[in-house]
């Protein structure tokens, strides 16, 4: 009996390791409704990568396309998905944000239109009505794109999330902000052929399309958790590269209402653009900030070094 009792106690000791480690809660606000641009985040969540880093992540969608950065800067959410141009514009206005990781490392943004419109160069949009998606970003980016490419006498209209309806109904002739990897697919699903001008081919420097940002105070108070989040997302991106079909299946588990045909097609186009590493290149960021000043995206110069903290530094 003593031997049996000892064996039971030993077995219990091997299988019980004390109370479960509490996970620190983090909130992440997306830049848009959930889609395959965010797929590595959902993979990290589905596979427990966040939990292994000691964090739990609540993913939120914005009610307005400009919400994410503002709420992160104010500390209303811990993290947000934002854009390099939006971050540079915010910094020039004195908004104290930090870039802690990357999701998409090259531009996806286009000036999108119906191919039937017959536009062959940006200047063909002289005198036209042009929509934009994110106030304070895409309207400003459109103005810079227009200066570089000689578009004159155009009218800007905020279309928000309603990109395809605005184009198909003829309310606008083009929209600044749609992604070449996503809205082109949703248009095709509705029988519409997309035409677009890629920004990097028409005078806009290369930049990180989607980045993770937080407020300076959030980073100061939750650096360990933020670092854990970024490391988990990096594992999610690696998992996409290693097993894309399984990663896509994880995404559909997390977002069951997603249009499978559209999201699968968009995923195939998006995969090459997921970030190859989480560290931002300060030289490339500074080049974009200098371009932004020269072409009127910002009014005050931005030194990017304070925006790009080293999460491994003490």
CATH of the domain at 257: 3.40.190.10
Neighbours of 64 (CB within 10 A): 11
Q: Which domain holds residue 69?
A: 25-106+208-298
Residues 71, 72, 74, 77, CA torsion sign: positive
- Do 238 and 274 share a domain, yes or no? yes
User: Cα dist. 162→138, 166, 192, 223 in Å?
Assistant: 14, 6, 15, 37
Q: For position 22, what pLDDT does the model report? A: 81
**Number of domains within the chain:** 2
- Do 95 and 228 share a domain, yes or no? yes
Contact of 30 with 38, CB cutoff 8 Å: yes
- Do 236 and 257 share a domain, yes or no? yes
> Is 214 part of a structural domain of the chain?
yes
Q: For position 16, what pLDDT does the model report? A: 39
- Do 126 and 156 share a domain, yes or no? yes
- Do 127 and 144 share a domain, yes or no? yes
Q: For position 10, what pLDDT does the model report? A: 39
- Do 171 and 48 share a domain, yes or no? no
- Do 35 and 81 share a domain, yes or no? yes
Q: For position 30, what pLDDT does the model report? A: 97
Q: For position 21, what pLDDT does the model report? A: 61
Chain-centroid distance of CA 251 in Å reads 16
- Do 276 and 158 share a domain, yes or no? no
- Do 124 and 97 share a domain, yes or no? no
Contact of 305 with 127, CB cutoff 8 Å: no
> Is 78 part of a structural domain of the chain?
yes
Contact of 242 with 61, CB cutoff 8 Å: no
Local confidence pLDDT in tens for the 314 residues of the chain: 334 333 333 344 433 343 446 889 999 999 999 999 999 999 999 999 999 999 999 999 998 877 899 999 999 999 999 999 999 999 999 999 999 999 999 999 999 999 999 999 999 999 999 999 999 999 999 999 999 999 999 999 999 989 999 999 999 999 999 999 999 999 999 999 999 999 999 999 999 999 999 999 999 999 999 999 999 999 999 999 999 999 999 999 999 999 999 999 999 999 999 999 999 999 999 999 999 999 999 999 999 999 999 998 86
Among 160, 186, 201, the domain-final residue is 201
Helix (H) or strand (E) holding 82: strand 79-82
Among 185, 201, 217, the domain-final residue is 201
Contact of 54 with 23, CB cutoff 8 Å: yes
> Is 234 part of a structural domain of the chain?
yes
- Do 212 and 102 share a domain, yes or no? yes
Q: Given phi > 0 = left and psi -120 to 50 = alpha, else beta, which region is 8?
A: alpha
- Do 123 and 267 share a domain, yes or no? no
Q: For position 67, what pLDDT does the model report? A: 87
- Do 238 and 253 share a domain, yes or no? yes
C-alpha–C-alpha distance, residues 24 and 80, integer Å: 17
């Amino acid at each position: 009996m003593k031997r049996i009792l000892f064996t039971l106690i030993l077995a219990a000791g091997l299988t019980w390791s004390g109370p479960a480690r509490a996970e620190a809660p983090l909130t992440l606000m997306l830049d848009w409704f959930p889609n395959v641009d965010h797929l590595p985040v959902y993979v990290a969540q589905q596979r427990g990568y966040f939990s292994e880093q000691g964090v739990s992540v609540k993913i939120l969608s914005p009610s307005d396309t400009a919400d994410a950065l503002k709420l992160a800067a104010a500390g209303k959410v811990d993290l947000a998905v934002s854009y390099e141009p939006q971050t540079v514009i915010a910094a020039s206005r004195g908004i104290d944000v930090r870039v802690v990781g990357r999701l998409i490392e090259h531009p996806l943004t286009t000036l999108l239109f119906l191919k039937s419109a017959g536009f062959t160069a940006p200047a063909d949009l002289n005198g036209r009505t042009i929509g934009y998606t994110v106030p304070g970003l895409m309207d400003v980016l459109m103005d810079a794109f227009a200066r570089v490419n000689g578009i004159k006498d155009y009218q800007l209209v905020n279309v928000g999330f309603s990109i395809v309806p605005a184009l198909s109904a003829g309310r606008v002739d083009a929209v600044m902000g749609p992604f070449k990897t996503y809205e082109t697919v949703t248009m095709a699903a509705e029988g519409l052929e997309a035409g677009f001008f890629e920004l990097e081919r028409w005078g806009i420097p290369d930049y990180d399309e989607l980045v993770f940002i937080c407020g300076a105070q959030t980073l100061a108070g939750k650096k360990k958790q933020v670092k854990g989040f970024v490391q988990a997302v990096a594992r999610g991106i690696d998992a996409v590269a290693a097993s894309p079909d399984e990663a896509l299946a994880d995404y559909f588990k997390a977002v069951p209402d997603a249009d499978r045909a559209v999201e699968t097609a968009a995923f195939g186009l998006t995969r090459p653009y997921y970030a190859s590493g989480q560290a931002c290149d300060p030289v490339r960021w500074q080049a974009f900030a200098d371009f932004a000043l020269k072409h009127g995206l910002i009014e005050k110069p931005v030194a990017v070094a304070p925006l790009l903290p080293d999460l491994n530094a003490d």
